[in-house]
Structure 1
């Protein structure tokens, strides 16, 4: 089996990172997969870097906290191999499923571990929010998405680097990557995995990251198929106009008929803007990136190896 670089972004994960790295090494060695494990210490204030190094990982350090997505970009550029696997440092993803995902990456551009189980379901609010974003992301991509932002996935550096200028540097790196792959007709395959209980505490700001994820999905639609956004905006006016028209016919209420005409005219204007956006949108989706020899850290500061 081909070599793989495991990239793990970590921020204040001293409690879990040693066990995560150790378990990954055991699983990959047992499967006979040549590998390296890169831990990107994202400006941790605890002993995350030392614990990762003691477990046998190569540690790349950011001088300050720069975000989940930027840490992944740093690790991807620093990786020795083209095949990249990412996972989290908190022990929530099952290491024993990684060889299966790696094997499938020979057939697909990206293989994603779709989370299942009691630790993934969460509260009712989380489930409702997840359902809403799933509907919106599937509407954007035009196909079913089992898990848009799973943190365990395998892909190839030569594919993902084309989209680096488009991919979020924050927590929504995985959301952006999934959408960009699908909207550029790359094959994304989902494999169900059992999401596990995390070690330590979560650093996710749910309100901020939910708004950011929504922004990213809307931006993706506007970039690749803007008419879909305008259809969503026009649809309520169409329904409103239909309601006014029914009221006008049933009650001989001619002002309601005028309101129906105004609502439908508004819908027409919105759709007209959508068609205009489609006509002027750029036709080229892929982004040129530097060659491998000129690759460097995606931010302003250079990472430091430990």
Structure 2
């Protein structure tokens, strides 16, 4: 029998969290999947905690709002099963698809529900923002990423514990988890899922969280493949240098040539810094591997298996 801990972060979700738990239990019971429901109440100011205690197997309470990512971290650390599923408490995710994700997690390191539909697409502004972040993420990871920050996914506790120190404690938890897995050559599999209109008011602050996501993606490139970031910076400088030299060649004066030399020098300097960052990668990877060895030695040796 498969065993799974389902971690559900909840902030002021008294109206919807009970329905989510009931739906999760029904679908997992229908597929003979043993489970533990973990609800992390993240500084809620309504009746979420009382509702959670009526329906969950384990309730973790943050006295203050620490953020989406920290809620997931608390739940993952406290979970008793090695297989972890996460979903939201606002009824936006189709939890009837959880058994399929759990089954696929026997073959892949992480399985993600890629959101589709008009509710997910939202306004043109949101669509453009997601497109830009998806392209940057795919450039960073070198892989196709249908949905960078879906909140419905399944993975193993023993694996994600290795990356918790570098995974965001905020809204970008799922973004950093995805990039950490991909940059470390772990398998991430996507299946399409519907995405429903949420119950209650969204907790997402689009401008702040978008800027934070951009920062996270930039940090991921610097951490795992820094030369890509420096290529992005050097490419427009090199193009500007070429244009200036071309203008100089057709007789537009020495000023264009001097500007071209300045742009070219800047491009070379940026790439030199990039190569230096690449040269330091082996040392950083060695230090990280030493840290992971320490984590593995301190992990519990008897987590519930999936058999």
| Same-fold status (TM-score > 0.5) | yes
Residues in 2 aligned to 1:14 and 1:49: alpha-carbon distance in whole angstroms? 8
Instruction: Give 3-state SS (helix, strand or coil) of 2:113's partner.
Output: strand
Which runs of structure 2 are paired with 1:12-161 in the superposition (5 Å)?
12-161=12-161
Give 1:291's aligned residue. Answer: 298
Residues in 2 aligned to 1:292 and 1:21: alpha-carbon distance in whole angstroms? 29
Which runs of structure 2 are paired with 1:244-259 in the superposition (5 Å)?
244-259=244-259
Instruction: Give 3-state SS (helix, strand or coil) of 1:106's partner.
Output: coil
Instruction: Give 3-state SS (helix, strand or coil) of 2:40's partner.
Output: strand
Deviations 1:118-162 (A, max 9, x none): 110011111111111011111110111111100000000010000
Residues in 1 aligned to 2:32 and 2:186: alpha-carbon distance in whole angstroms? 28
Q: Which runs of 5+ in 2 are unaligned?
A: 302-307
Deviations 1:262-299 (A, max 9, x none): 211110111011101111231335542262349xxxxx
Q: Following TM superposition, by how much is the alpha carbon of 1:252 offset from its aligned partner in structure 2, in angstroms?
A: 4.8
Give 1:301's aligned residue. Answer: none
Between stretches 92-101 and 259-268, larger displacement belongs to: 259-268
Please say if residues 241 and 263 of structure 1, whose CA atoms lie closer than 8 Å, have aligned partners that are also in contact. yes
Residues in 1 aligned to 2:127 and 2:165: alpha-carbon distance in whole angstroms? 31
Residues in 2 aligned to 1:67 and 1:47: alpha-carbon distance in whole angstroms? 18
TM-score normalised to the size of structure 1? 0.93
Please say if residues 91 and 199 of structure 1, whose CA atoms lie closer than 8 Å, have aligned partners that are also in contact. yes
Deviations 1:220-250 (A, max 9, x none): 1111111111111101111101111221222
Residues in 1 aligned to 2:100 and 2:182: alpha-carbon distance in whole angstroms? 21
Residues in 1 aligned to 2:18 and 2:103: alpha-carbon distance in whole angstroms? 25
Aligned positions, number: 294
Instruction: Give 3-state SS (helix, strand or coil) of 1:114's partner.
Output: strand
Give 1:189's aligned residue. Answer: 189
Please say if residues 167 and 176 of structure 2, whose CA atoms lie closer than 8 Å, have aligned partners that are also in contact. yes
Q: Following TM superposition, by how much is the alpha carbon of 1:187 offset from its aligned partner in structure 2, in angstroms?
A: 0.3
Residues in 1 aligned to 2:226 and 2:285: alpha-carbon distance in whole angstroms? 13
Residues in 1 aligned to 2:62 and 2:14: alpha-carbon distance in whole angstroms? 16
Distance 1:49 1:57, change over 3 A: farther
Between stretches 118-127 and 276-285, larger displacement belongs to: 276-285
RMSD: 1.4
Please say if residues 38 and 56 of structure 2, whose CA atoms lie closer than 8 Å, have aligned partners that are also in contact. no
Instruction: Give 3-state SS (helix, strand or coil) of 2:241's partner.
Output: helix
Residues in 2 aligned to 1:126 and 1:252: alpha-carbon distance in whole angstroms? 44
Residues in 2 aligned to 1:133 and 1:224: alpha-carbon distance in whole angstroms? 17
Give 2:305's aligned residue. Answer: none
Q: Following TM superposition, by how much is the alpha carbon of 1:30 offset from its aligned partner in structure 2, in angstroms?
A: 0.6
1:214 and 2:214 are equivalent in the alignment: yes
Give 2:242's aligned residue. Answer: 242
Residues in 2 aligned to 1:244 and 1:272: alpha-carbon distance in whole angstroms? 22
Residues in 2 aligned to 1:283 and 1:90: alpha-carbon distance in whole angstroms? 39
Residues in 2 aligned to 1:155 and 1:171: alpha-carbon distance in whole angstroms? 18
Q: Following TM superposition, by how much is the alpha carbon of 1:90 offset from its aligned partner in structure 2, in angstroms?
A: 0.4
1:171 and 2:171 are equivalent in the alignment: yes
Between stretches 88-97 and 274-283, larger displacement belongs to: 274-283
Residues in 2 aligned to 1:245 and 1:108: alpha-carbon distance in whole angstroms? 51
